[in-house]
Amino acid sequence: MLLIRLIRNELQKTWRSRWIVFAVMGGIFVLIAGGLYTYYVISQSRWSPPPTVAWQTTLRTEIANDQQQLGFMEQAKQQQNGGPTSGPFSIDAAIKQVKQQIADDQYLLDHDIAPLQSYSITVAALFAFGGIVMFLIMRIFGWLASEQIAGERSDRTLAILLSRPMSRTQLLLTKAVASFLISLAVVVVTFLVVYVVFAFVQGSLGPVTGQVGLAIDASKPLTQGNLVVMPIAVFVLMCLGATMLGVLCLQGMSFLISAVFGRWAAIGITLAVLFGAPLVSTVVAVIIIGISQDPNKAHFLNYLFVNVLAPVSSISSVFGNGPGGQAGIGLGEFGKELITLTAWTVAFFASAWLLFRRKQEAG
């Protein structure tokens, strides 16, 4: 009961002192929704939702287009105008690839397995729990978490808190749980806002039951051997859980910094890491790829702390069976990033707990 009361007090204190931050987040939600709607109006030249198109219809259209392309290629082969007839870039290889695409799409239809972008709720999960949206919100989470202990120290209230019947472990746990609950609420609201926007753009809320197919290696097409079938609800919960694991990892780093420095130093260091480290990682990756001419040589950079904070971004969002054309994406990569996130999270929180227990606080 004591812990619950402490968490409730921490939530109330955070709301009273940081309400302006949550107001800014609300403004960000409005800007996201307005920006997506404006893009829709400009690109589609319409203000109202489009008519709903079933994913089966879209996939059958792709099959029909592939069959038409296949006919042209076979006709060109008969006329000997299709270029070389052997090798990886021959017309025979191209015909084989198109036939495989048709077979893969037909497999999805026959087994009622929808691609990820078939439903509004799955697209919203990919967009809201990964990419630029989560990149921005994560920085706000890091800022708030970095003040949890450093702010108390700068306000000279930390020694007062520790003089009460509360251990250092309880204090750290209270602030961690309160910060996590606030982040969870923001993430869920973000997802709901994005879901409503995509439901409007696609003309339907879409079903929340059924199943979707996820590629193990998203650089390759969805095939029987490169496919994991998952219920829609499980997929959304999986994305939410992965995102909150990223939030925990970020908060662990912020608490570690907060346990050592004062408020402004902790905020500055946290934001410098969160904004600067991805840029440094990108520059290093470009240099490695430029020297080696092999994108896989820089793949190890994917497991740096800052590069796995939004693991949902590793799941391909390409519609249908076209390969994503990117290395390091897919359900297999997603699983490796979750393991990496777990290791970083445990290391950060353990280090923060050890340092906070040893550090003397002045009244």
DSSP 285-296: HHHHHHHHS-GG
Cα(281)–Cα(286) distance, integer angstroms: 9
In a domain, 298, yes or no: yes
Q: Which domain holds residue 311?
A: 2-48+113-358
3-state class percentages of the chain: helix first, strand second, coil last, to nearest 5: 75, 0, 25
CA distances from 360 to 151, 265, 270, 355, 363 (A): 16, 18, 22, 10, 10
Q: Is 86 left (phi over 0), alpha (psi -120 to 50) or beta?
A: beta
**What local confidence, expressed as pLDDT, does residue 88 receive?**
55
Q: For residue 242, give the 3-state DSSP assignment.
A: helix
Q: What is the pLDDT of residues 226-249, one digit of tens each?
A: 888 889 999 999 999 999 999 999
Count of beta carbons in the 10 Å neighbourhood of residue 99? 14
**What local confidence, expressed as pLDDT, does residue 84 receive?**
54
**What local confidence, expressed as pLDDT, does residue 60 receive?**
86
In a domain, 94, yes or no: no
In a domain, 132, yes or no: yes
Q: What are phi and psi of 101, to 5 degrees?
A: -60, -40
In a domain, 120, yes or no: yes
Contacts of 106 (CB under 8 A, 6+ apart): 63
In a domain, 55, yes or no: no
> Would you say 35 and 132 are in contact if contact means Cβ atoms under 8 Å apart?
no
CA distances from 159 to 177, 276, 319, 361, 363 (A): 21, 33, 56, 6, 5
In a domain, 68, yes or no: no
**What local confidence, expressed as pLDDT, does residue 235 receive?**
92
Burial of 294 (0-12, 13-18, 19+ CB in 10 A): exposed
Token pair in block for residue 179? 């910060």
In a domain, 65, yes or no: no
How many folded domains does the chain comprise? 1
In a domain, 36, yes or no: yes
Strand ranges, E, within 257-313: none
> Would you say 143 and 270 are in contact if contact means Cβ atoms under 8 Å apart?
yes
Q: For residue 231, give the 3-state DSSP assignment.
A: strand
Tens-of-pLDDT digits for all 363 residues of the chain?
677 887 888 788 877 777 787 787 788 778 877 887 788 788 878 777 777 777 778 888 888 888 888 888 888 777 765 455 555 557 777 888 888 888 888 888 888 888 887 888 988 888 888 877 788 888 888 888 888 887 777 777 776 777 666 778 888 888 888 889 989 998 998 899 888 888 887 777 777 778 888 888 877 777 777 888 889 999 999 999 999 999 999 999 999 998 888 888 888 999 999 888 888 888 888 898 888 877 778 878 878 888 888 888 888 644 333 333 445 578 888 888 899 999 999 999 999 888 887 766 554
Token pair in block for residue 65? 């287009």
Contacts of 19 (CB under 8 A, 6+ apart): none
Cα(259)–Cα(147) distance, integer angstroms: 10
